[in-house]
Amino acid sequence: MKAIFTGQYFRAFVAMPGTIGALRSRIARRMSDSQIDAAGTAASSVAACLCAAALLAGCDGGGVSGQADPLAAYKTQQIAWAPCNAEQIEDMPTLTVSALGTDLSCAQIRVPMDYAHPTAGDISIGVMRVAAAAPKERVGAILFNPGGPGGDGYQFGALRAGLARLVNPASGGYRGLYDMSRKFDFVGFSPRGVGRSTQLICSLPAPLEHVDWLPNNLSPQNVDRALYNARLYADACRNVPLAPFINTDATARDMDVLRAALGDTRLNYIGYSYGTLLGAWYASLFPQQTGRILLDSSVDYDMPLPLQSQAVAQQQLYDDTISLYALTKVDHVALPNTLAGIRSLFTDAPDWSRSYLSEKLYSVMPYHGAVDETIVVMAAAYAITQASASHPTPDAYAAALANHIYFPNDPEWNQMALKLALGSTGEYAEAVTGVYASPAAPTDWVNPTVRCSDAPVSSNPAYWVNRATVIAREAPIADSSDIDNPCIYWGPVTLTKPALSVAAKSAPPILMLQSENDMLTPLAGAQTTLAALPSASMILVNGEYSHGLFPYGTACVDSTVASYFLTGAMPPRNTVCAGNVLPGVAANSSATSAAALRRASSDAFTDPQQAQDIIERTRELLRPRR
């Protein structure tokens, strides 16, 4: 156990509230203060209790300390809530802001930049809150995180609250979200480094080099260019003062400061995707401050993020689900009319277009609600392949795309596919001329910083090249981003991830929610995390592939989640709910019949269009980052 207590946070953490002090109050239920004082450090049984319950409090057999909490000033700060200004609510649906009224407010809180040295300086965390709709019934707050790393959750809680207030409670659909919003404040925040919080800003020391589509060009020259870019990414942040403090551990500690400043004794939390790692990390750091936690679309907690490949799951989803659905659409969209032709759409596309198409596909394919947008990307890919087959001039290529018919009977969708296809003209011109512009510099520095700072991975480029080669054979549809990986050059990782066994032993039961065919956080990884949490339960949505489920719109999912947050009731460890299976795709035989599935219909919301606007905006915040 001593190994858990070592590291950069030891001195700051030994005196945190909720560890020694809170433990003392719990033991006092069984022992008087005089008994505890008399026992002292000589009582090995008390010391053992301290170690088991205080966990990371620095218990090494030395007994109880009366040290002052170095974070007290942060945890007791008064949050100066104020009406949100126009910049803070930018991109939020206007009707949502209006409907939330004075329940919507914004603020900044202070947190230490370095938790190992809390007096070394502050950074700011942006917070947006929607107060519980029934204030007399309020029981606390729920904190939201949409994932990432680097996803900005500032507006996320407010968007969930806005959707909840549009729910028609008599309809049954989304009733669970409605009930939760009445008793909980919904709180979103910008994690350190992004959005309304103190931002991490890095700059490339040199221009990036053009890299051909890696799965089809693993030549030494192309791989060297990718590795050169990866080193530039790492060098960009190496000397930025804030960068060493942008990691999951620091964000989890920020959440605990926010919990205390909100006045809650326990943290209630809903995290999606990477947000599940953040939530499990919090529960392992602060099990005694953990309340009710939903991990929606879970990563494998113990596997470093750079090793959690999505490629094979993406290939399987495309071959076994998306392609079957697309086959039902061939009378309405210009696509190959055979399953084999649809499955080979992207592998048949010219190499120069693959990176562009991969990015577009990756942004929409993980979401059931965006399945028709996925068909748009497929239609554009088919057109790009046909238009470029004869190697025309760039102008002739653009003209061929403009004259192509994508959706014969739907002008709106035809225009969407045309616009997406024309977006490839720059790449085509570069391929024809052999003159490549330097790739644009990244704008998201938090994602690689967190991925590379949380856990050590191999620094041997050959390991990553070999790994990418294997993945390219198994999943040719996917990008070989394993090579374009700054973690190879990031340097030593000094963090120690808290053991999930801590949360398993000392935190309240955790609820998990998972799609059967999620490509971004595959089921196998979520099941590994579940296996490490004996008291947890998982709601598995069979036949579904959407990433980020709650609220789902069925009682089986939403009412179960709401009951957990409102009463603490846990469903059976392995709970199965029916998913919304696409036409043309056979439902899993173990799932409830698709015909029995009651998805939320138009009567679920008092204003269906406004609800759809909120859902689409929320999906943008959930979009994958890589």
From first CA to last CA, the distance across the chain in angstroms is 35
pLDDT tens digit string along 416-446? 999 999 999 999 999 999 999 999 888 899 9
Dist CA 624 CA 626 (whole Å): 7
Answer whether residue 50 shows pLDDT above 60. no
The pLDDT score that the predictor gives to residue 484 is 85
Question: How far is residue 239 CA from its own chain's centroid?
Answer: 27
Answer whether residue 55 shows pLDDT above 50. no
pLDDT tens digit string along 290-335? 999 999 999 999 999 999 999 999 999 999 999 999 999 999 999 9
**Under a CB-based contact definition with an 8 Å cutoff, are residues 482 and 467 in contact?**
yes
Answer whether residue 543 shows pLDDT above 70. yes
- Other beta carbons within 10 angstroms of residue 508's beta carbon come to 16
Answer whether residue 2 shows pLDDT above 60. no
The pLDDT score that the predictor gives to residue 587 is 60
Answer whether residue 52 shows pLDDT above 50. no
Using only C-alpha atoms, the chain has a radius of gyration, in whole angstroms, of: 26
For 112-116, 198-202, 242-246, 474-478, which range has the lowest pLDDT when averaged over its residues?
A: 474-478
Q: What is the pLDDT averaged over residues 111-116? A: 98
Closest CA to 568 of 508, 513, 512, 500: 508
Dist CA 158 CA 176 (whole Å): 16
Dist CA 102 CA 133 (whole Å): 11
Name the pLDDT band for 626 (thresholds 50, 70, 90). Answer: low
The pLDDT score that the predictor gives to residue 424 is 98
Name the pLDDT band for 42 (thresholds 50, 70, 90). Answer: very low
Closest CA to 534 of 512, 550, 556: 512
Answer whether residue 67 shows pLDDT above 70. yes
The pLDDT score that the predictor gives to residue 588 is 54
The pLDDT score that the predictor gives to residue 54 is 39
The pLDDT score that the predictor gives to residue 173 is 79
For 99-103, 452-456, 589-593, which range has the lowest pLDDT when averaged over its residues?
A: 589-593
Q: What is the pLDDT averaged over residues 370-386? A: 97
**Under a CB-based contact definition with an 8 Å cutoff, are residues 521 and 298 in contact?**
yes
CA dihedral 613, 372, 324, 338 (to 10 degrees): 180
314-318, 582-586, 607-611: range with highest mean pLDDT: 314-318
For residue 615, give the amino acid letter: I
pLDDT tens digit string along 210-254? 999 888 888 999 999 999 999 999 999 988 999 999 999 999 999
For 98-107, 525-534, 586-595, which range has the lowest pLDDT when averaged over its residues?
A: 586-595
Q: What is the pLDDT averaged over residues 468-490? A: 89
Name the pLDDT band for 101 (thresholds 50, 70, 90). Answer: very high
The pLDDT score that the predictor gives to residue 11 is 35
Residues 6+ apart with CB under 8 A from 353: 381, 384, 385, 388, 424, 427, 428
Name the pLDDT band for 30 (thresholds 50, 70, 90). Answer: very low
pLDDT tens digit string along 512-539? 999 999 999 999 999 999 999 999 999 9
Q: What are φ and ψ of residue 125, in 5° steps?
A: -120, 125
Name the pLDDT band for 585 (thresholds 50, 70, 90). Answer: confident
Dist CA 448 CA 247 (whole Å): 10
The pLDDT score that the predictor gives to residue 213 is 87
- Tokens found for residue 393: 């001039």
Closest CA to 376 of 347, 348, 410: 410
Q: What is the pLDDT averaged over residues 84-109? A: 95
Superfamily for 94-199+244-304+496-622? Alpha/Beta hydrolase fold, catalytic domain (3.40.50.1820)
Residue span(s) of the chain under CATH 3.40.50.1820 come to 94-199+244-304+496-622
pLDDT above 90 covers a percentage of the chain that reads 79
Answer whether residue 38 shows pLDDT above 70. no
Q: What is the pLDDT averaged over residues 578-591? A: 74
For 244-248, 283-287, 316-320, 596-600, which range has the lowest pLDDT when averaged over its residues?
A: 596-600
**Under a CB-based contact definition with an 8 Å cutoff, are residues 603 and 169 in contact?**
no
DSSP 3-state assignment of 578? Answer: strand
Dist CA 528 CA 242 (whole Å): 33
